[in-house]
Amino acid sequence: MIKNIAVIPGDGIGEEVVAQTVRVLDAVGEKFGHKFNYTYLEAGGCAIDSTGKPLPEATLEACKKSDSVLLGAVGGPKWDHIPGIRPEQALLGLRGGLGLFANLRPAIMYDQLKEACPLKESIIEGGLNIMIVRELTGGIYFGKSGRSEDGKTGYDVEEYSFYEIERLLRQAAEIAMKRNKHVTVVDKANILETSRMWRECAGKVFADYPEIRVDFLYVDNASMQLVRNPRQFDVIATSNIFGDILSDEASQITGSIGMLPSASLGEGSFGMYEPVHGSAPDIAGKNIANPLATILSGAMMLRYSFGMQAEADAIEAAVGKALDAGCRTADIAGGVTPIGTKEMGDAVIKFL
């Protein structure tokens, strides 16, 4: 099988972690008989330097012609002084321009790294593997906002259509069918009309998935339950703002943000894949960044965009074996002597 991947290394450590991910993808291709073609593109701060824009039109158009997008990281203090332009605008432009509406944020605690988890051992015994599916293009972040004429009153409007909610919930259902067939819809239906719409729409969507167990939690309770009993969750489906907050909370309880991948999906199989962490310009070019979040994002690409389940499993298993062997970059080293970015890539390829 041949797949065309748009590669955006971005800024800071993006180039280093993406390079290791491409190496791993090539190793998977060789093992399973696939060919991955890469088109390297600019976005973020580096694109501002070369074109004056965080997202050049040529980058967006090339991404549209690809089968998926692999993104490193964008941003950094180098570009903070430029008025009205931020490297992070490239992310919003890519999500909007590519029609990406569902953000997938796994929160996985590897047993080999459980000492980094801030929760007590009795709570996390057996490990954590939660998938948060966040609506990405609607809600309060995209509603009407402004100030009154005297500037003393501000407003931000939460708005959702049934269409936006339904497509997100169906995406969550399809993901749950590949996992443990359990979805928790998180809302604030005791207060918000939009949340009552989420519950109404959930009744319609999940009627088509009788195998899935569905429950509902108010967002304040869900935020408490994530630290009280996180193992009760499998897939969490929620709105833009609630998902933004809960996914960051969930990433922290794993204790290893450098290990966490993410995906943003559109209609069909198209997606953009990137690590949760930022560009970390302070360690860029030093061969000490952790490439595993980006490598695991590559595994998500194989699973969700290319339908390559065995290949994705192989990458994830190789990461686990590398950790079993004591391979650690500096951010997850604990008392172990760390290895470098490239050496971690070598280890994952070895265990493939």
* Yes or no: domain 118-253 corresponds to CATH 3.40.718.10: yes
Q: CA 290 to CA 275: how far, in whole Å?
A: 10
Cβ atoms of 135 and 101 within 8 Å: the answer is: yes
- What's the pLDDT tens digit per position in 267-286? 889 999 999 999 999 999 99
Active-site residue, selected from the candidate residues 234, 244, 273, 304: 244
Q: CA 154 to CA 300: how far, in whole Å?
A: 40
Active-site residue, selected from the candidate residues 26, 38, 78, 141: 141
Q: 3-class SS at 129?
A: strand
Active-site residue, selected from the candidate residues 80, 220, 282, 313: 220
CATH number corresponding to 1-100+286-352 = 3.40.718.10
Q: Same CATH topology for 1-100+286-352 and 118-253? A: yes
- 220 counts as catalytic: yes
Which pLDDT score is estimated for 257? 81
Q: CA 344 to CA 332: how far, in whole Å?
A: 12
The residue type of 222 is: A
Q: CA 253 to CA 109: how far, in whole Å?
A: 8
- 244 counts as catalytic: yes
- CB 178: neighbour CB atoms within 10 A? 12
Which pLDDT score is estimated for 110? 86
What are the DSSP calls for 151-186, one per residue? Answer: SS-EEE-----HHHHHHHHHHHHHHHHTTTSEEEEE
Place of tokens 């290949």: 311
The pairing of strands 128-135 and 102-109 is antiparallel
SS3 for 289-337 is: CCCHHHHHHHHHHHHHCCCCHHHHHHHHHHHHHHHHCCCCCHHHCCCCC
| Paired residues of 311 in beta bridges | none
Active-site residue, selected from the candidate residues 3, 160, 188, 209: 188
What ranges do the domains of the chain cover? 1-100+286-352, 118-253
Active-site residue, selected from the candidate residues 26, 67, 248, 346: 248
Locate the DSSP E strands across 76-212. 102-109, 128-135, 145-147, 154-156, 182-187
Per-residue pLDDT of the chain (352 residues; tens, 9 = 90+): 999 999 999 999 999 999 999 999 999 999 999 999 999 999 999 999 999 999 999 999 999 999 999 999 999 999 998 998 999 999 989 999 999 999 999 999 888 888 888 888 888 888 889 999 999 999 999 899 999 999 999 999 999 999 999 999 999 999 999 999 999 999 999 999 999 999 999 999 999 999 999 999 999 999 999 999 999 999 999 999 999 999 999 988 888 788 999 999 998 899 999 999 999 999 999 999 999 999 999 999 999 999 999 999 999 999 999 999 999 999 999 888 999 999 999 999 999 9
- 178 counts as catalytic: no
Q: CA 32 to CA 341: how far, in whole Å?
A: 25
- 313 counts as catalytic: no
- 346 counts as catalytic: no
Cβ atoms of 173 and 201 within 8 Å: the answer is: no
Element (H, E) at 236: strand 235-238
Q: CA 157 to CA 5: how far, in whole Å?
A: 37
Which pLDDT score is estimated for 117? 86
